[in-house]
Structure 1
Amino acid sequence: MLVSRLQNIIWEAGRIISFLIEVLRGFKRNQGLLLSGAVAYYTLLSFIPLSILILIVLSHFVGEEQLFTTISTYMEMVLPGSAAILTEHARAFIQHRNVIGIIGLLVMLFFSSIAFTTLENAMSVIFFHRVRIQRRHFLTSAVIPYVYIFLMALGILLVSFIAGVLETLEEMKLVIFGWGLSLKGAPGIALYIIGMIGEVLMLTSLYLVMPVGRIMFHHALLGGITATVLWEIIRRVLVWYYSALSLVNLIYGSFATAVVFLLSIEAAALILLLGAQVIAELERKNEDLTGGKLSGFET
């Protein structure tokens, strides 16, 4: 019985390793590093305009300081080591928002959307077997980025309201069965937990929406959870590296902020696209597409 169980474990481990090798081969064949670099570059162009645009709109509904607290917390979750500088840049821009005209807003709106467009194009490369069968209407592709921008703004608005309510309760104490429970620090913990949940939902929606056609929800949810956990690990490693060992400031000087930002987004894009490659390989196996020549872009 024990020998049989060990054989089953070894066989399952072999299957998993074989599948992961196929994923890495498919990722290499689809030029995954190049795709993640493109996504990171266009995210670099989009991030600041997107943040400023959201701040300008939401400042009509929520106090600026509360908004900056929320934005700064989530910037640190996405961009370890760069959040403080980027937040100050956004704050300086917001102070002069009256000089921005309609043309300026339209330009920022356009640059805010190009990261999502690039991500959709990268997904179409990874899910190339779907694109050969069906294509998305160009109007749908044009609308998707702005839907995400709206949903992100709505999410930040809701989180800001929740954080504001928790701050009013911070000095209060809950008494449960005679035990006093302080709520001090609750806003920070709540922002982190909500941020993690929001990250899972965002990544899950990207796996569901960005590829052409329909993806099974449990595949997308598993990909979203896995990508969130991996990014949280990588983020903490990057925070430690930038604070302890990094020579980026010494090597790149005034360009260090942009380089750190680009490296962080590159790591996030790599995790996101690897998750998409896993889903694509599962689909190919389910549809018996691996029997023939695999679709992809080779050099």
Structure 2
Amino acid sequence: MQQRLHDWLEFWRFLWQRFFDNRGADNAAALTYTTLFAVVPMMTVTFAMLSAVPAFQGTGEQIQAFIFHNFVPSAGEALQEYLRDFTTQARQLTWIGVGVLAVTAFWMLVTVERTFNTIWRVRQPRRGIATFLLYWAILSLGPMLLGAGFAISTYVASLSLLSGPDAVVGAKTLLRFTPLLFSVAAFTLLYAAVPNARVPFRHAFWGGVFTAVLLELAKAIFGLYVRFFPGYQLIYGAFATVPLFLLWVFLSWLIVLLGAELVCNLGVSLQWRKRGMPRALVLLGILRVFHARQRSGLMVRHRDVQRQGWLLPEHEWEEVLSFLEDQRLVACTGGDSWMLSRDLSHYSLQQLIERSPWPLPHLSQLPDELDEPWYPALRVALQRLHDEQTLLFGDSLANWFEGQGTDKK
């Protein structure tokens, strides 16, 4: 039990460190700034798409009220009125104005995808027609699906089996959890579809559950703060709603990005995290796999490396590939397949060490055993290097400062 608790705490420590390494707070601030400009265009595009279908007339306002009531703290009620006025005025724009709003909404989606790709260490983001089709599907089909889902849920909730005196036991309790279920579904889809990487559905689902529950807790705490600490109204007066809304959007993006980190790292092997393998050894192991598979005429993929015992996660694989590609040692053959692009008979280990961003490991960092043909010789070489360094630089600093270092003897 203690070991399991230790592993759980170690995983969250690792996740928190990854969140800061990826500049999660900075990205959340950037997304908050983008959201401030994109919220009205997104609402306008949504209402425009819904109004194109006669069956969805008036659904946009109901969806907006539903979102603000269930997903935004009570401080957002006044802002909802402002946004409704802005959206009403935006509907009277010319086609040029609508185009500008659409571009702003597209930019919001681009920023979100870029941030997610950073978390997943995606090296090749979507380009051209693939990007356009994805964003267009979100802006056009998204409102349609949302309106259809809202209409269906409203109809189901009105059934006598779920409401009224003859309702099934527990039905009202289930209906109270409907906003949470909507949140789980939305975040699951967000984590599964937005990154330009393969995301297992179960990982996206657990990330959606985590984010939805955490947002509910944050909304409750934020509401208590607004209710019991109204000092902000003395400072900002009638303008207080705007900074509160921005703070809530920032907290929401922090939670969403933390959920993305969770989804990305759920596939990281516990054994791999515990080993703490020095990245220089990982680099050599991956190059050995490339060399062996090239001699057999085979390409290399991430899962091929994992089958050889190198259980590194996707983001570490991408980092190593980025370095090897910069050194023109490997080249992409399409998709996620790679191959050597240079004869390793004319590329020395010294060249690799000098150009690698990862230093040689200290003797204390070396594993006792490693099933690699090059490892015994490397271990001996590192021991000799350590002995030589000790011999050359083992004198005290006082002797060196007095000109009596090892090279003066």
Q: What TM-score results when the alignment is normalised by the length of structure 2?
A: 0.59
CA 1:98–1:284: 2 relative to 1, 3 Å: closer
1 CA distance for matches of 2:260 and 2:91?
A: 42
Render the CA deviation track for 1:40-76: whole Å, top value 9, x for unaligned. Answer: 2212221122112212332342343x53233111123
Percent identity between the two aligned chains: 22
1 CA distance for matches of 2:132 and 2:151?
A: 30
Residue 256 (str. 1) matches residue 240 (str. 2): yes
Residue 20 (str. 1) matches residue 12 (str. 2): yes
2 CA distance for matches of 1:143 and 1:189?
A: 36
Which residue of 78, 96, 117 maps to 1:103?
96
CA displacement at 1:180 relative to structure 2: 3.8
2 CA distance for matches of 1:188 and 1:250?
A: 39
Which residue of the partner structure matches residue 3 of structure 1? none
The gaps in structure 1 that reach 5 residues or longer are: 1-8
Q: Which one has the bigger helix percentage?
A: 1
Which residue of 101, 122, 125 maps to 2:115?
122
1:61-80 alignment to 2 at 5 Å? 61=54, 62-64=56-58, 66-80=59-73
1:127-146 alignment to 2 at 5 Å? 127-128=120-121, 130-131=122-123, 134-146=124-136
CA displacement at 1:253 relative to structure 2: 3.5
1 CA distance for matches of 2:62 and 2:173?
A: 10
CA displacement at 1:153 relative to structure 2: 0.8
2 CA distance for matches of 1:69 and 1:187?
A: 20
Which residue of the partner structure matches residue 27 of structure 2? 35
Counterpart residue type for residue 125 of structure 1: T
Q: Which has the larger radius of gyration?
A: 2
Which residue of 84, 90, 113 maps to 1:91?
84
Which residue of 50, 60, 76 maps to 1:58?
50
Which residue of the partner structure matches residue 4 of structure 1? none
Counterpart residue type for residue 281 of structure 1: N
Residue 46 (str. 1) matches residue 32 (str. 2): no
Which residue of the partner structure matches residue 148 of structure 2? 158
CA contact (8 A) 1:48 1:86 kept: no
Moved more, 93-102 or 237-246: 93-102
Render the CA deviation track for 1:248-291: whole Å, top value 9, x for unaligned. Answer: 33223354222112111111111111122123333443795863
Render the CA deviation track for 1:145-194: whole Å, top value 9, x for unaligned. Answer: 33222343123312442366468x58xx6699xx94269xx99985x644
CA displacement at 1:223 relative to structure 2: 0.5
CA RMSD of superposed structures (Å): 3.3
CA contact (8 A) 2:117 2:125 kept: no
Residue 10 (str. 1) matches residue 2 (str. 2): yes
Which residue of the partner structure matches residue 6 of structure 1? none
2 CA distance for matches of 1:175 and 1:285?
A: 44
Counterpart residue type for residue 231 of structure 2: L
1:206-285 alignment to 2 at 5 Å? 206-285=190-269
CA contact (8 A) 1:56 1:94 kept: no
2 CA distance for matches of 1:270 and 1:213?
A: 21
1 CA distance for matches of 2:271 and 2:193?
A: 20
Which residue of the partner structure matches residue 285 of structure 2? none
CA 1:94–1:51: 2 relative to 1, 3 Å: closer
Render the CA deviation track for 1:82-123: whole Å, top value 9, x for unaligned. Answer: 443343234334554563110111111122232221111111
2 CA distance for matches of 1:23 and 1:235?
A: 23
CA 1:220–1:98: 2 relative to 1, 3 Å: closer
Counterpart residue type for residue 92 of structure 1: D
2 CA distance for matches of 1:82 and 1:189?
A: 26
2 CA distance for matches of 1:231 and 1:127?
A: 22
Q: What TM-score results when the alignment is normalised by the length of structure 1?
A: 0.78
SS at match of 1:291: coil
2 CA distance for matches of 1:146 and 1:223?
A: 25
SS at match of 1:251: helix
CA contact (8 A) 1:36 1:270 kept: yes
CA 1:138–1:98: 2 relative to 1, 3 Å: closer
Which residue of 166, 169, 189 maps to 1:181?
166
2 CA distance for matches of 1:164 and 1:24?
A: 39
SS at match of 2:74: coil
Counterpart residue type for residue 44 of structure 1: L
CA 1:84–1:152: 2 relative to 1, 3 Å: farther
